[in-house]
């Protein structure tokens, strides 16, 4: 395999990887609802795992990033004072 072919294959793989732009403070709407009935979760921590807080009852969970991103239906970005709307 030529070096150009290897680089092209790497670019194709990278294009297929979807990384979501999720930040602390964002509100995630998940596909399935929590037993309390709410589908919305506030992001408290971002990393390899997410810490999420149920907006309905306040219950907190740790969930692997991959699983969280797979189950996200919608992301509501919260803008704070001092941050520009990107």
Torsion of CA 12, 50, 61, 45, to 10 degrees: -170
The third-level CATH classification (topology) of the domain covering 21-76 is SH3 type barrels. (2.30.30)
The beta-strand segments (E) located in the chain are 27-30, 40-45, 49-54, 60-64, 72-76
Domain boundaries, the chain: 21-76
Q: How far apart are the first and last CA of the chain?
A: 41
Helix (H, G, I), strand (E, B) or coil at 35: coil
Query: Does position 80 have pLDDT exceeding 60, yes or no?
Result: yes
* Residue 72 confidence class, pLDDT cut points 50, 70, 90: very high
pLDDT digits 0-9 by tens, 7-40: 666 555 444 455 678 999 999 999 999 999 999 9
Q: What is the mean pLDDT of the chain?
A: 83
Residue % of the chain over a pLDDT of 70: 70
Percent of the chain with pLDDT over 90: 64
């Amino acid at each position: 395999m030529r070096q150009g072919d290897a680089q092209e294959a790497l670019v194709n793989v990278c294009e297929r990887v979807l990384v979501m732009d999720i930040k602390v403070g964002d509100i995630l709407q998940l596909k399935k609802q929590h037993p309390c009935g709410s589908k919305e979760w506030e992001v408290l921590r971002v990393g390899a795992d997410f810490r999420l807080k149920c907006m309905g009852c306040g219950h907190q969970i740790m969930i692997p990033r991959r699983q969280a991103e797979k189950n996200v239906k919608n992301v509501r970005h919260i803008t704070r004072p001092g941050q520009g709307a990107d």
